[in-house]
Amino acid sequence: MDIKEKIQQLKQEQDAVILAHYYVSDEVQAIADYVGDSFYLSKLAVDLPQKTIVLCGVFFMGESAKLLNPEKRVLLPDTNADCPMAHMTTPESIAALRADYPDAAVVCYINSTAELKTCSDVCVTSANALKIVAALPNKEIIFVPDENLGQYIAAQLPDKRFIYDDGRCPIHARITPAAIDEARAAHPSAPVLAHPECIPAVLQKADYIGSTSGILKYATEHDVQQYIIATECGIGYQLRTQNPDKEFFFVSPTPVCEDMKFITLEKIAHALETGAGEVQLDGAVYQPANAPLAKMLELAR
């Protein structure tokens, strides 16, 4: 039996479903039952009938799935796969900002630890942040941890005042305006599709800005043959699979989130076989960390 057959068999035995983010490796996306962006994965996790969820992504994704499904077993094939941005603010820092801006809502990007979610009023993903922040009555918004996503949303909501805490995705922040210029010079007719975690100077040069699913939808629905992609390279698998006749050029150097690539078929099989990597959360965290996630799902509906 090869590793893929073994995973299929273990899935049946364990009543498990495999969810994968667009940034994990091609072979992991290929065996997953569902592949999507952070918003899709969190929405989906609530409705699945299986008792075990194998979350192929980084730690905060497993935590979010567990928070939304406390009664289910959530397995992370590699618990070391972490998002550095998820730690780029602290409860103390949020408390200090709340003291300075008592009327502000704390909006927390889903790329954050469960502990940070407990300090927040509502979570957002890149796919729903605009809709959710626009729906909040507060004029002042403390947006953590991703300042780049926050600035992108702030530019579209000029009536609100945004306050940040200096966090960013190191992978997207590394993409430079010069890299966009270079890609455009090489492929002049290709539109630039960028993720809002990129810095503002990169986003200014983009033809389309959206979450991973937004980028995929744009490229699939438009009648253009070539695209320049300014996000993590894992999305290339779905772009190419769903659009075999189109060409996709990633900015140089190719953005790679090493943590997402920690997930392998062998580790998925091991987690299913042994129960390794089960997400365990402190009982006191569930209610306060679930509340902003549940509010996100409600406001995004």
Residues facing residue 108 across a β-bridge: 123, 144
User: Whole-angstrom Cα distance, residue 274 to residue 52?
Assistant: 13
- The binder of ligand SF4 chosen from 33, 84, 217, 278 (CB under 6 A): 84
Please give the helix or strand (H or E) that residue 250 lies within, else none.
Answer: strand 247-250
List the single partner that 84 binds among ligand 13P, ligand SF4, none, CB under 5 to 8 Å by kind.
ligand SF4
Which of 14/128 has CB closer to ligand 13P?
128
To ligand 13P, the closest distance from the beta carbon of 81 in angstroms equals: 11
To ligand 13P, the closest distance from the beta carbon of 83 in angstroms equals: 6
Q: DSSP secondary structure string, 74-92?
A: EE-S-TT---GGGGSS-HH
Residue with tokens 């960390």: 289
Quick one: tokens of 157? 């909501």
Which of 25/211 has CB closer to ligand 13P?
211
Which of 147/259 has CB closer to ligand SF4?
259
To ligand 13P, the closest distance from the beta carbon of 254 in angstroms equals: 15
User: Rule CB under 6 A: is residue 64 a binding residue for ligand 13P?
Assistant: no
Residue 141: how many other CB atoms lie within 10 Å: 23
Q: Taken in order 186, 179, 81, 75, is the CA torsion positive or negative?
A: negative
User: Rule CB under 6 A: is residue 25 a binding residue for ligand 13P?
Assistant: no
- The binder of ligand 13P chosen from 29, 42, 93, 111 (CB under 6 A): 111
- The binder of ligand 13P chosen from 69, 113, 118, 211 (CB under 6 A): 211
- The binder of ligand SF4 chosen from 58, 74, 136, 193 (CB under 6 A): 58
**Residue 235: burial class (beta carbons within 10 Å; 0-12, 13-18, 19+):** buried
User: Rule CB under 6 A: is residue 113 a binding residue for ligand 13P?
Assistant: no
Q: Which of residues 105-164 bind ligand SF4 (CB under 6 A)?
A: 111
Which of 165/259 has CB closer to ligand SF4?
259
Scanning 36-44, 48-56, 147-155, 201-209 for contacts with ligand 13P by CB under 6 A, the matching segment is: 36-44
Scanning 153-161, 165-173, 182-190, 209-217 for contacts with ligand SF4 by CB under 6 A, the matching segment is: 165-173
User: Rule CB under 6 A: is residue 29 a binding residue for ligand 13P?
Assistant: no
Q: Taken in order 151, 21, 65, 34, is the CA torsion positive or negative?
A: positive
- The binder of ligand SF4 chosen from 20, 83, 142, 228 (CB under 6 A): 83
Contacts 24+ apart (CB under 8 A), 269-274: 269/3, 269/6, 269/7, 269/10, 270/77, 271/54, 271/75, 271/76, 271/77, 272/7, 272/10, 272/11, 272/13, 272/14, 272/16, 272/52, 272/54, 272/75, 273/10
Scanning 127-135, 167-175, 236-244, 289-297 for contacts with ligand SF4 by CB under 6 A, the matching segment is: 167-175
Nearest to 162 by CA among 134, 202, 204: 134
**Residue 66: burial class (beta carbons within 10 Å; 0-12, 13-18, 19+):** buried
DSSP state of 146: B
**Which residues contact ligand 13P (rule: CB under 6 A)?**
22, 37-39, 83, 111, 125-127, 169, 197, 211-212
**Which residues contact ligand SF4 (rule: CB under 6 A)?**
23, 58, 83-85, 111, 169-172, 197, 232, 257, 259-260
